[in-house]
């Protein structure tokens, strides 16, 4: 890549560089800019401006040539991304095309990516739960991975910090395993969901059923109005980008807020090649970037660097950041960079019917399911598998105009299509997987992408523990639905590859000991403390809860610490 071009260094120098503009990158930029740091945000994809660049946000189904579905010719070219629940004709422009960004699957792994300003924050499912103390204590108690260097008490105020700004709907349920937060009014369960909840609670004293918590503005506060956002309309078209700003993403919220300070420089179309390490100074001094279109190399410099490229790309960048000091990747003295990757086990689901309640219906498209926090191995080891799983369920009723049997015509036909069908119930698991050294990513020795960067090799798979957890859910879930009065219960193991959960974590894990981890409790690389990693790559374990709220809180905490230390001259 050549040496540092000192003649351009002054023009390309900032206080901080943030790599990536997704959920965690947006928070890093917001916090650093608010602290007065001149911050450069690098994004490998195109610019996406809130409102302006949501071309399908208000389209009707009949406005699409294929009524929302991608044609077979397109899905054949994108066999990985087309599996994603949010992918379709209305949202395809926010997803990476498989053939344009190849990677090597040593084991099957569906890597879902969104390369644009905002990243996957435009596409996420917006479910936001705090982790409990049992999630942070789990690895140490159960003897897997390494001990988290932080506890719930360390992150709790930062959960509040990001919840108040982002806007999280939920109910204060008083459940120890699912801590309460700073909530906007909750969504409501429908009549059948409430009926199932009552039966589960009556039959299982250790199981709690609550309405889901999600990043939607059910009742905007002043801070959200200042952001230019409005109330969620329950359209459930979020993957198109929301014209109301009703859900949290970087584009509508953190990036504009950072820009208002006058301290943010945003550079899209900037593919990060590696981080520059200065042997004499003993620290990182900048970032090498390849222009996405011209392929021209450029270098930018800063005092601190936040790596928020999303879990696997963050691993890729650090592995590719080699020097005489770090021949195997930045900070990789212990050889653990890229190892102990984990994800969420989504393989188990089930469906059923529920009789009755035919006089009730519901309105809108609520963005939150009903959820049950983990009840397996919470306080002590109770089963033949480690950790557990969270459960989500919902009850729906086929809408007006369901399929009519026979050859009804005229008034009989009109009457038939005006009726709603019976109630259906869907339940799924979100299982914790155990980080293992054998689940890892690495760089190809001989294959490179269009920007001259080695392709990422992914070797991540399920193990016997995951299968045992899955089977336990299938038994327990079916039992719960049966006791709740459901009929025709059908269980399913999708056998889907890891990755489709889009919750991959690890590879650059936090820990107390530099011999067994890459980052300290402030998310600094042990051997290069002016580089911070605060996206999913930093996570030590997965918990059973959704990860994004924790990404945000960890990032805000680390960014404020970094700004404080920089001002003290410690970085």
pLDDT at 82: 95
Q: What is the pLDDT of residues 314-349, one digit of tens each?
A: 999 999 999 999 999 999 999 999 999 999 999 999
Q: How far is CA 453 from the centre of its chain?
A: 25
Q: Note the pTM of the prediction, 2 decimals.
A: 0.95
pLDDT band, residue 4 (cuts 50/70/90): very low
Q: How far apart are CA 151 and CA 106, in angstroms?
A: 35
Predicted confidence (pLDDT) per residue in 133-142, tens digit: 999 999 999 9
pLDDT at 11: 84
- The pLDDT assigned to 398 comes to 85
Residue 50 predicted with pLDDT over 90: yes
Tell me the C-alpha distance between 386 and 391, whole Å: 17
In the structure encoding, which two tokens stand for residue 471, read together?
Answer: 């089977």
Per-residue pLDDT tens for 468-508? 999 999 999 999 999 999 999 999 999 999 999 999 999 99
What is the CB neighbour count within 10 angstroms for residue 495? 9
Residue whose structure tokens are 């798979």: 461
pLDDT at 111 exceeding the cut of 90: yes
Let me know: does 538 contact 550? Beta carbons within 8 Å: no
SS (H, E, C) 33-58: HHCCCCEEEECCCECCCCCCCCCCCC
- CB neighbours of residue 262 within 10 Å: 9
- Bridge partners for 524 per DSSP: 532
pLDDT at residue 405 above 70? no
Nearest one of 20, 5, 175, 37 to 566, comparing CA atoms: 37
Q: Of 405, 395, 403, which Cα lies nearest the Cα of 353? A: 395
Give the separation between CA 234 and CA 368, rounded to whole angstroms: 10
Q: Whole-angstrom Cα distance, residue 432 to residue 468?
A: 12
Tokens of 525: 């690389």
Per-residue pLDDT band for 363 (boundaries 50, 70, 90) equals confident
Residue 7: the pLDDT is: 47
How many CA atoms lie less than 13 Å away from 81 in the CB half-sphere? 27
The beta-carbon contacts of 242-248 under 8 Å, at least 24 apart in sequence, are 242/54, 242/57, 243/51, 243/54, 243/57, 243/58, 245/50, 245/217, 246/216, 246/217, 247/126, 247/214, 247/215, 247/216, 247/217, 247/367, 248/121, 248/126, 248/166, 248/167, 248/215, 248/216
DSSP assignments along 83-94, one per residue? GSTT-STTTGGG
Q: Which residues pair with 531 in a beta bridge?
A: 305
- What's the average model confidence in pLDDT over 224-232? 98
pLDDT of residue 238: 96
Element (H, E) at 549: helix 548-567
Phi and psi at residue 483, to the nearest 5°: -70, -20
3-state secondary structure of 271: strand
Distance CA 264, CA 14 (A): 10
Q: Are strands 270-278 and 168-169 parallel, antiparallel or unpaired?
A: unpaired
What pLDDT, on a 0 to 100 scale, did the predictor assign at position 421?
Answer: 86
pLDDT band at 413 (very low <50, low <70, confident <90, very high): low
501-547 tens-digit pLDDT = 999 999 999 999 999 999 999 999 999 999 999 999 999 999 999 99
| Residue of 139 and 400 predicted with greater confidence | 139
Kindly state the percentage of the chain with pLDDT values over 70.
95
In contact, 507 and 136? CB cutoff 8 Å: no
Kindly write down the DSSP assignment for every residue of 462-511, as one continuous string: --HHHHHHHHHHHHHHHHHHHHTT-EEEEEEE--PPTTTT---EEES-B-
Question: 240 with 87: CB under 8 angstroms?
Answer: no
Residue 407: predicted pLDDT: 57
Task: Provide the percentage of residues in the chain whose pLDDT is more than 90.
Answer: 91
Average pLDDT over residues 389-410: 75
Tens digit of pLDDT for each residue in 134-190? 999 999 999 999 999 999 999 999 999 999 999 999 999 999 999 999 999 999 999
Task: State the Cα–Cα distance between residues 139 and 304, nearest whole angstrom.
Answer: 30
pLDDT band at residue 555 using 50, 70 and 90 as cut-offs: very high
Residue 8 in this model has a pLDDT that exceeds 90: no
Instruction: Please name every residue paired with 83 in a beta bridge, in sequence order, or none if there are none.
Output: none
């Amino acid at each position: 890549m050549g040496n540092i071009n000192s003649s351009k260094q002054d023009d390309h120098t900032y206080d901080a560089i943030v790599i990536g503009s997704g959920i965690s990158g947006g928070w890093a930029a917001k916090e650093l800019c608010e602290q007065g740091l001149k911050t450069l945000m690098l994004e490998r994809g195109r610019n996406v401006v809130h409102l302006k660049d949501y071309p399908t946000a208000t389209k009707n189904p009949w406005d699409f040539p294929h009524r929302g579905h991608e044609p077979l010719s397109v899905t054949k070219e994108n066999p990985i991304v087309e599996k994603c629940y949010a992918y379709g004709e209305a949202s395809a422009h926010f997803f990476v095309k498989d053939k344009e960004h190849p990677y090597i699957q040593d084991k099957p792994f569906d890597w879902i990516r969104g390369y644009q300003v905002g990243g996957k924050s435009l596409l996420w499912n917006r479910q936001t739960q705090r982790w409990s103390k049992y999630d942070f204590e789990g690895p140490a108690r159960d003897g897997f991975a390494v001990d988290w260097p932080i506890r719930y008490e360390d992150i709790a105020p930062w959960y509040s910090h990001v919840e108040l700004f982002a806007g999280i709907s939920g109910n204060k349920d008083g459940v120890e395993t699912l801590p309460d937060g700073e909530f906007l009014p909750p969504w409501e369960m429908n009549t059948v969901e409430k009926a199932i909840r009552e039966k589960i609670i009556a039959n299982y004293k250790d199981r709690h059923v609550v309405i889901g918590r999600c990043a939607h503005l059910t009742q905007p506060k002043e801070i959200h109005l200042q952001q230019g956002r409005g109330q969620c309309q329950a359209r459930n078209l979020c993957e198109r980008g929301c014209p109301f700003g009703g859900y949290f993403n970087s584009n509508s919220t953190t990036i504009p807020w950072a820009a208002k300070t006058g301290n943010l420089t945003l550079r899209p179309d900037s593919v990060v090649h590696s981080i520059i390490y200065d042997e004499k100074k003993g620290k990182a001094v900048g970032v090498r970037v390849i222009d996405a279109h011209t392929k021209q190399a450029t270098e930018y410099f800063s005092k601190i660097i936040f790596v928020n490229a999303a879990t696997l790309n963050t691993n890729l960048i650090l592995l590719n950041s080699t020097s005489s000091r770090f021949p195997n990747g930045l900070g990789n003295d212990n050889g653990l960079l890229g190892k102990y990757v984990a994800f969420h086990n989504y393989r188990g689901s089930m469906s059923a019917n529920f009789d009755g309640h035919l006089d009730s219906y519901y309105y809108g498209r609520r963005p939150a399911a009903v959820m049950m926090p983990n009840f397996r191995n919470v306080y002590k080891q109770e089963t033949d598998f480690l950790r557990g799983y969270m459960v989500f369920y919902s009850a729906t009723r086929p809408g007006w105009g369901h399929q009519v049997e026979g050859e009804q015509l005229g008034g009989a036909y009109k009457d038939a299509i005006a009726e709603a069908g019976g109630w259906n119930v869907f339940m799924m698991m979100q299982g914790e997987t155990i980080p293992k050294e054998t689940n890892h990513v690495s760089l190809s020795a001989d294959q490179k992408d269009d920007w001259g960067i080695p392709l990422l090799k992914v070797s991540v798979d399920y193990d016997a523990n995951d299968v045992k957890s899955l089977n336990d859910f299938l038994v327990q879930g079916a039992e719960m639905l049966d006791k709740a009065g459901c009929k025709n219960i059908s269980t399913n193991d999708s056998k889907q590859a890891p990755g489709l959960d889009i919750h991959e974590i690890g590879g650059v894990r936090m820990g107390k000991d530099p011999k067994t981890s890459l980052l300290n409790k402030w998310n600094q690389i042990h051997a290069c403390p002016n580089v911070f990693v605060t996206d999913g790559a930093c996570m030590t374990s997965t918990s059973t809860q959704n990860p994004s709220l924790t990404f945000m809180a960890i990032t805000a905490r680390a960014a404020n610490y970094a700004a404080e230390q920089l001002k003290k001259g410690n970085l």
